[in-house]
Amino acid sequence: MTSGLFSFPNPVNEVSARLVAGGVAILSTVTIVLEQPWLTVLIAYGFVARVLAGPRLSPLGLLVTRVITPRVPVRAKLVAGPPKRFAQGIGAVLTLTAAVLALGFGQHLAAYLVLGAVIVAATLESVFAFCVGCAIFAGLMRTGWIPEAVCAECNDIWSRVPADGATDGSERSTTTSAG
């Protein structure tokens, strides 16, 4: 269990993670379809905020964990936090790159191509529960680039979860959050 402003939840509710990914896919698609490159800054901020603090500083993360997830009639599915944080980090790099391309260099097409990759990954997560960043994380662990110690606790998430299933103050037993 983690606490504090700059900590990432572990475990993470995959339901909330998938809902956040759906929001990212929608916002990224709107950015491209409506040709609003300034929105890349908001998307990038969300990823950076979620990497630093889970849903605590992310407007989308807060909306999902405080409003949407509690109303979805689906049981929480707890998964390890470190791979999800790694995936958020990849999203941060991609969306910051898109923001710099669009707003710093006026390269809207290049920015939208990068956002297209974000849309693909976010859609895979939200619709099919396939986390591209988590798969990369697992591959890096297999090759030794990420030490086993980083995710030693990943294999034993239940030792940190209270009987009610909450993993931090913002989470509930059947509707815990992750974002």
pLDDT by position in tens, the chain (length 179) = 446 677 889 899 999 999 999 999 999 999 999 999 999 999 999 999 999 999 999 999 999 999 999 999 999 999 999 999 999 999 999 999 999 999 999 999 999 999 999 999 999 999 999 999 999 999 999 999 988 888 766 655 445 454 444 444 344 333 334 44
pTM of the model: 0.84
Does residue 177 sit within a domain? Answer: no
Establish if 33 belongs to a structural domain. Answer: yes
Beta partners for 78?
Answer: 13
Other CB atoms within a 10 A radius of the CB of residue 51 amount to: 22
Sign of the C-alpha dihedral, residues 153, 158, 161, 167? positive
| 87 within a domain of the structure (yes/no) | yes
Does residue 168 lie within any of the structural domains? no
* H or E stretch covering 79: strand 78-79
Distances, alpha carbon 161 to alpha carbons 1, 6, 19, 79, in Å = 7, 19, 22, 11
Contact by Cβ (8 Å): 2, 168: yes
* Gap between the terminal Cα atoms of the chain: 15
Q: In terms of residue numbers, what domain contains 54?
A: 12-160
What does the pLDDT look like over 7-35, one tens digit per residue?
889 899 999 999 999 999 999 999 999 99
- How many H-runs (helices) and E-runs (strands) does the chain carry? 6, 2
Among residues 89, 87, 78, 69, which one has the least CA distance to residue 12?
A: 78
User: Looking at the domain assignment, is residue 178 inside a domain?
Assistant: no
174 is a domain residue: no
CA distance 2 to 90: 21
Looking at the 3D structure of the chain, how many domains does it have? 1
Residue 71 lies in a domain: yes
Task: Tell me: cis bond preceding 9? Omega within 30 of 0 counts.
Answer: no
Q: Is residue 152 part of a domain?
A: yes
